Structure 1
Amino acid sequence: MSSAEAAEYQFFHQSFVKDYEEGLEIWANQKQSRIDPTAEVKSFPCITGPLRAMTVNAVSTILSRFHDTLDNTKVRKKRLDDTVATISILRAQGFTGLQLAHATVRKGDRVIKDAADLIHHLTFVSPKMRWILKYVMDHCLKRRPDGGRNKLLCSEDIPVSAWFIETVLKSIYIRAEVLHAGLNDLQRIALIQEFNEPQSDLVVLVMMYQVSSQGANLDGACHRVCSVTTAINLPSELQVHYRPIRVSQKEKVTIVQLSVVNSHNAWRETKQVDKSIIDVLTKLRSPESFQVIADALNDNRDEMLAAHNSDEERDSGSSDDEGPAQGASFTPVNRNLRKRKRTQQETDDTDEGPDDLPPAYETPDATYSPTKHETDEESENCDDVSNEDGDDEDEGVTPNEYISDFRKA
Structure 2
Amino acid sequence: MIKNILYSFSINFINFLFPLILIPFYIHVFGITNYGLIAISFSLINYISVINDYSWNALGPIKIGKLSSDFKAINNYISTVINTKLLLTIPTFLLLFVFAHLYNAISSNSIFFLSLFMMLFSRTQNAHWIFIGLNKVKIYFVINSIFKISCLLTILFFVKSKNSFQILFFILGFFDCLIFITAYIYLFIKEKFKYTATSLKDIYAELQSGFKMFLTNLTVCSILNSGTLILGVFYSSKIVGIYSVSEKVIMLGKHAIGVLFQGVFPKICTIGVASISELNKTLRQIFKYYILLFSAGTLFLIVFSEQIISVLSSSHILESSRYLILLSPIPLIASLNQSAYMSLLIHEKKNIYFSGYFFGLIINISFSFLLSYFFKVEGMITALIITELFITLFLNYNILRDKNLNFLSK
Structure 1 length as normaliser, TM-score? 0.24
More helix by share: 2
Higher-Rg member (1/2): 1
Higher relative contact order (CA 8 A, sep 6+): 2
Higher strand share: 1
